[in-house]
Structures are given as C-alpha cells and as structure tokens.
Structure 1
C-alpha cells in the first residue's frame, strides 16, 4: 500500500480515535470517577488524558512506513 494512501487512512482513523476516546473518557469521568477520592480521581484523569497516545503512536508509526520497493 502506498504511503500516501496509508496517511489518508491513518488520518481518518486518528481523528476517529480522538473523538471516540474523548467521548468515552468524558462518559467515564462523569460516572464512576466522581465517586472516587481526590487522589484516584487525579490518577484516572491523567491516565484518561495520556493513554490514547499508545494507539495513536502505533497508528502514526504505521502511517510513516516507507513504500516497499517493487
């Protein structure tokens, strides 16, 4: 698959990931996290804000692979 197509697909998937992650994190934060103590709330907010980087980074790595020589 050419890099140009991978970048197009990856961009769309990355946007979907960010939107899905944000909506899921907001739903989780409004429900269960508010019942926790302040320390655990802080840990949950940090994790919810940072963990999306792992799948996003893997997706970006896939997008940036060079084209295979024919």
Structure 2
C-alpha cells in the first residue's frame, strides 16, 4: 500500500477514534458518575483523557511503516 494512502486512512481512523472515544467516555461518565464526588470525576477524565493515546499510537505506528517495494 502506498505511504500516502496509508497516511490518509490512518488520519481518518484517528479522527473517528477520537470522536467515538470522546462520545463514549462522556456518555459513560454522565450515566455512571453523576453522583460521584469531584475527585472521582477528575481521576476518570484524567485517565480517559490519556487512554485514547494507546490505540492512536498503534494507528500511527501502522501509518509510518515503509512502503512494500515489490
């Protein structure tokens, strides 16, 4: 697969990942953390704010692979 196409696909995947992940994190928080103290909200959003980086790193690593020269 050409590098430019892989980067385009990876960029679209990261955008979709961020949108879906943010909606899921906020939905989960509003459904289950509504009556929790402020520090639980702080911890939850701190960890969920960092957790999306793991799948994004995998996508970026895939995007940066060299092209197959056949």
Instruction: Calculate the TM-score normalised by the size of structure 1.
Output: 0.86
Please report the RMSD computed on the Cα atoms of aligned residues, expressed in angstroms: 1.3
Structure 1, unmatched stretches of 5+, are none
Length-normalised TM-score, structure 2: 0.86
How many residues were matched structurally?
70
What are structure 2's unaligned runs of at least 5 residues?
none
Counterparts of 2:22 and 2:39 in 1: how far apart (Å)? Answer: 21
Matched, 1:22 2:26: no
Deviations 1:3-59 (A, max 9, x none): 111111111111100000111111011111223344433221111111000000100
